[in-house]
Structure 1
């Protein structure tokens, strides 16, 4: 039976709430800037209340309840904390520090899925049973793909977070996303090699939902441009990665795209370096959270990085506001902090468009479709046709090693340059 502990939180990132576990950040690897399937751990949840009643008697108005289903524990806990920090900062920003929309408090309850789709589905059903009309979160792709259909069946708004699987886009009319998707990663990777016609590309990834999504995206992007695409997939549980590094080298690709996350990443980069893969091919991968930078070791300055976000990447006024709020709350912006911030912006906009009510979820959906706004990374648009989130992406270089490793933006790709093709809405 799920236990829920009441905990009051403020919307402002300027005041830290009760401490949340940082999670095993040192075990999270640098490689794919994404979330993936993960084994579940603890199953605790906390409830939170954002903001206070307005001076005009707004406390008597019905609050808007938002359910956050994300990885508070488990292998993706560090990603989850970034998301939560961003959400609180975004809620404060979007409501101008009040935590209210038209006098209605935005209240959020946290449910921990630990990266386990079964736990996420159970938590979503629990929240829906309590009358929640808005769900957000989903650190893992496997979670988002299970929660999305539940949202559609029950006609509740669902805004997926860091989960990168392309299938989340166009999943159904009630499902949106506040982060980027694998296709945008691949479009950014493709920008490193220019004309792909006649080129050979290999994808080195884990054999899970995230890895398979990256293979499909590489085939869709580079394959359609005339490249030959091969795949090298390793079991997520594999610890000896030399055989897979050897396969990648033997393939002799012009471009090796690495999509990886988890505590085996350091071993992977060691294996690739030992096999001298970098001497024969251009290696592209995603730059993950800051704690993972040292895991690249000597390979760090040999890699071409695509990037969703790192602290300081965008240089926008909204990024500055997010950074100030998160820092004041004792945190530090990282790769998925904008995903939480953007989710809060989307929720507040949808509720505001409906005069402080979340009861008519079809109206919430309509308010978000086609909405363009200033986000952390710059101008951001919710595409009406399939709910893809159109946003800039970055080419990044990592300099220095170990604790001294620092990222810098080499090029910013516009939202149009990395936009995925329109996906027919499935439901």
Structure 2
């Protein structure tokens, strides 16, 4: 996809400025704030990038499309969910476009690939989706933040919850065969087995698998020795897996649970239909969250877009956090140290509930939610089952005990 430049401005035309004698206008006040945005728009993750970009644009649009009198430009690049492409594009954004801040990223593999380029250039990066746990653990950087839970955090807590609350004892894990799925497999196993359970099998499928029949068959064969299947797939892979799981008759035999696969909206439940009914999910967000900020966001998003999707929220909160930090420094993004400090201090009542960054990791420190897919008024929705408050990355909890 060619580069997209989205100039966010209230209107078009020339702006005349009358400067009183003795007053000067700083260069920063005249120049736009450039925000580099990277998402995939091709392949199995395309819908994840497209909908998050909608939310990202919306966050700035809701502020009158200017911050501290400066125009904001979103410089959008397609990383194709490929590490080599992502690295090339991020270098272009930094070196040629001279962006002041970076955001986006869906693929964990892409996020890992660009870590050194971002750190060495000292350009702040706010990740809105990529789990890539290492980037806020042993490979952390003062320039990297994340508004989404890091690699395997939700799966760790869900492993414990399935054992403690649903009484599950033997699990099968299935996920995408790259960093994202592997990190979740490790953390789910830690959570489930530390509670007393046992992961009896792991089944990984390549990204972009067209037919999950072979993998679901493997799960079925191992299923006689299990009472729950836990999956970590995204985008079209999640839709294909859940449908195949039901078609092969496993839906009513083995409880299906997941991290972020059975999302609300057209990117998840809307495409899965009844195949997803009864599935348990752990997620950072569902549209049904009963917070004032979320009620306003869902209503305004539906009015503006005609629909609501959790992926829109993921992009929106990333843009919202960046905008709040920019507002805190009066648009002076050129002061990198001051802008980084403003990012670290962002704290507000958000669509997720209370929002703040963990000072150790620079991950979001927010609630995560266990849900169940049910029919509500003839529509399949995720219904809240339990809230896990301020779910800290378990990697950091382990470090504290050493």
Q: TM-score, normalised by structure 1?
A: 0.77
Quick check: 1:106 aligned with 2:72? yes
- The 1:299/1:339 distance shift into structure 2, 3 A limit, reads closer
Q: Return the alpha-carbon distance in structure 2 between the equivalents of residues 404 and 185 of structure 1.
A: 29
Match of 1:36 in 2: none
Q: Which moved more, 1:250-259 or 1:185-194?
A: 185-194
Quick check: 1:208 aligned with 2:203? no
Q: Return the alpha-carbon distance in structure 2 between the equivalents of residues 327 and 271 of structure 1.
A: 31
What does 1:4-153 correspond to in 2, within 5 Å?
43-52=1-10, 60-93=29-62, 95=63, 97-101=64-68, 103-129=69-95, 130-153=97-120
CA drift at 1:276? 4.1
Q: Return the alpha-carbon distance in structure 2 between the equivalents of residues 382 and 231 of structure 1.
A: 33
Partner of 1:193: helix, strand, or coil? helix
Q: Return the alpha-carbon distance in structure 2 between the equivalents of residues 217 and 385 of structure 1.
A: 19
Number of residue pairs aligned between Structure 1 and Structure 2: 376
Q: Return the alpha-carbon distance in structure 2 between the equivalents of residues 189 and 223 of structure 1.
A: 8
Partner of 1:406: helix, strand, or coil? strand
Q: Return the alpha-carbon distance in structure 2 between the equivalents of residues 55 and 180 of structure 1.
A: 44
Is the CA contact (8 Å cut-off) linking 1:157 and 1:365 kept in structure 2?
yes
Match of 1:277 in 2: 250
> Considering only CA atoms, is the larger Rg found in Structure 1 or Structure 2?
2
CA deviation digits over 1:326-361, x for unaligned, max 9?
334435331221222211222123223333211232
Q: Return the alpha-carbon distance in structure 1 between the equivalents of residues 147 and 43 of structure 2.
A: 22
Q: Return the alpha-carbon distance in structure 2 between the equivalents of residues 55 and 193 of structure 1.
A: 65
Q: Which moved more, 1:223-232 or 1:133-142?
A: 223-232
Match of 2:341 in 1: 366
Match of 2:192 in 1: 222
Q: Return the alpha-carbon distance in structure 2 between the equivalents of residues 244 and 182 of structure 1.
A: 23
**Where in structure 2 are there 5+ consecutive unaligned residues?**
20-24
- The 1:328/1:220 distance shift into structure 2, 3 A limit, reads same
Q: Which moved more, 1:280-289 or 1:377-386?
A: 280-289
RMSD across aligned positions (CA): 3.1
Q: Which has the higher helix share?
A: 2
Quick check: 1:333 aligned with 2:308? yes
CA drift at 1:369? 2.2
Quick check: 1:301 aligned with 2:277? yes
What does 1:259-278 correspond to in 2, within 5 Å?
259-265=232-238, 267-273=240-246, 275-278=248-251
Partner of 1:201: helix, strand, or coil? strand
Partner of 2:277: helix, strand, or coil? helix
Q: Return the alpha-carbon distance in structure 2 between the equivalents of residues 259 and 322 of structure 1.
A: 27
Match of 2:393 in 1: 420
CA drift at 1:392? 2.3
- The 1:120/1:207 distance shift into structure 2, 3 A limit, reads same
Q: Return the alpha-carbon distance in structure 2 between the equivalents of residues 358 and 313 of structure 1.
A: 35
- The 1:121/1:394 distance shift into structure 2, 3 A limit, reads same
Q: Which moved more, 1:363-372 or 1:119-128?
A: 363-372
Partner of 1:44: helix, strand, or coil? coil
- The 1:377/1:195 distance shift into structure 2, 3 A limit, reads closer
Ranked by relative contact order (alpha carbons within 8 Å, sequence separation 6 or more), the top structure is: 1
Quick check: 1:249 aligned with 2:220? yes
- The 1:98/1:405 distance shift into structure 2, 3 A limit, reads closer
Partner of 1:369: helix, strand, or coil? helix
CA drift at 1:309? 2.9
Quick check: 1:390 aligned with 2:365? yes
Q: Return the alpha-carbon distance in structure 1 between the equivalents of residues 208 and 230 of structure 2.
A: 20
Is the CA contact (8 Å cut-off) linking 2:48 and 2:235 kept in structure 1?
no
CA drift at 1:325? 4.4
What does 1:339-378 correspond to in 2, within 5 Å?
339-378=314-353
Is the CA contact (8 Å cut-off) linking 1:255 and 1:282 kept in structure 2?
yes
- The 1:272/1:44 distance shift into structure 2, 3 A limit, reads same
Q: Return the alpha-carbon distance in structure 1 between the equivalents of residues 312 and 16 of structure 2.
A: 28
**Where in structure 1 are there 5+ consecutive unaligned residues?**
1-42
- The 1:338/1:295 distance shift into structure 2, 3 A limit, reads closer
Q: Return the alpha-carbon distance in structure 2 between the equivalents of residues 366 and 261 of structure 1.
A: 33
